[in-house]
């Protein structure tokens, strides 16, 4: 018995009748010639912050890698965090992307969990807890300032985490070389789910600013 969710089949039916029909030639071109996106986005797997929707991207325009809390580990060939590193390697060495954007977002569940490292594991293996140890150095720097509300503390760590991931991304030799040679630009961004606002990281000051629309 087929138990595939009916609402997903209905959605695919709408896709075939709508977007696919309107962009059939584009899909055929992508199938025959492969993908050539100019931009990679490293985003959170939170279903509320979808990069393709936020940036109005069409098929084949973005190479999107999503993980819990949009984290980038340091370059560690012998380390254990290989999934994200593999995506970065493919995007830069095979696709030759010109931009990498690390996009965090407000009300991030992963960041909230990182603020409470003493919490109980969700399941045997504690994969989320182990993954979030990547944030431990920045979480410790930030402390437990009693003047901050819980939401202020979370927003602060969400943004600090983006800066930290930008730093880690630049520890990849081929990323650093491509950026030095002007073939690649690295960016940070933070998306507010409630307001839809996008805040961009100023690489010189480390501040987040809203671009003029």
pLDDT in tens, 113-162: 999 877 888 899 999 999 999 999 888 776 666 788 989 999 999 999 99
Long-range CB pairs of 80-88, under 8 A, 24+ apart, other chains included: 81/131, 81/134, 84/42, 85/172, 87/40, 87/42, 87/63, 88/40, 88/42, 88/169, 88/172, 88/175
- What gap in Å lies between CA 36 and CA 2, rounded to an integer? 36
Quick check: 170 pLDDT over 80? Answer: yes
pLDDT at res. 116: 85
Q: Reduce the DSSP state of residue 63 to 3 states and report it.
A: strand
**CB-hemisphere CA count at 13 Å for 10?**
3
189 torsion bin: left (phi>0), alpha (psi -120 to 50), beta (else):
beta
Digit-coded pLDDT (tens) for 176-200: 999 999 999 999 999 999 999 999 9
Quick check: 135 and 74 in contact, CB under 8 A?
A: no
Domain 37-209 fold:
Beta-carbonic Anhydrase; Chain A (3.40.1050)
Using CB atoms within 10 A of its CB, is residue 102 exposed (0-12), middle (13-18) or buried (19+)?
Answer: buried
pLDDT above 70 coverage of the chain, percent: 96
Q: Give strand pairing partners of 191.
A: 105, 198
* Residue 85 exposure: Cα atoms within 13 Å on the Cβ side: 16
Arithmetic mean of pLDDT over the chain: 94
Domain-wise residue ranges, the chain: 1-34, 37-209
Write out pLDDT tens, residues 36-45.
Answer: 999 999 999 9
Q: How confident is residue 24, by pLDDT bands cut at 50, 70 and 90? A: very high
**pLDDT reported for residue 154:** 94
This prediction has a pTM of 0.95
Q: What is the pLDDT of residue 212?
A: 86
């Amino acid at each position: 018995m087929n138990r595939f969710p009916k609402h997903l089949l209905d959605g695919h039916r709408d896709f075939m009748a709508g977007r696919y029909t309107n962009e059939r030639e584009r899909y055929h071109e992508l199938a025959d010639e492969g993908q050539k996106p100019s931009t990679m986005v490293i985003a959170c797997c939170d279903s509320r912050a979808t990069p393709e929707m936020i940036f109005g991207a069409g098929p084949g325009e973005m190479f999107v890698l999503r993980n819990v809390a949009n984290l980038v580990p340091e370059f560690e060939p012998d380390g254990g965090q290989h999934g994200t590193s593999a995506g970065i390697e493919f995007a830069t060495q095979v696709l030759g992307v010109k931009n990498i954007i690390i996009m965090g977002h407000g009300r991030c569940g992963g960041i909230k969990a990182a603020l409470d490292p003493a919490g109980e594991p969700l399941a045997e293996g504690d994969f989320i807890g182990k993954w979030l140890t990547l944030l431990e150095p920045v979480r410790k720097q930030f402390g437990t300032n009693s003047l901050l509300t819980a939401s202020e503390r979370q927003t602060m760590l969400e943004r600090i985490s983006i800066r930290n991931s930008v730093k880690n991304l630049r520890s990849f030799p081929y990323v650093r070389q491509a950026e030095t040679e002007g073939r690649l630009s690295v960016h940070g961004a933070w998306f507010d789910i409630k307001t839809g606002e996008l805040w961009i990281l100023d690489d010189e000051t480390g501040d987040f600013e809203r671009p003029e629309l």
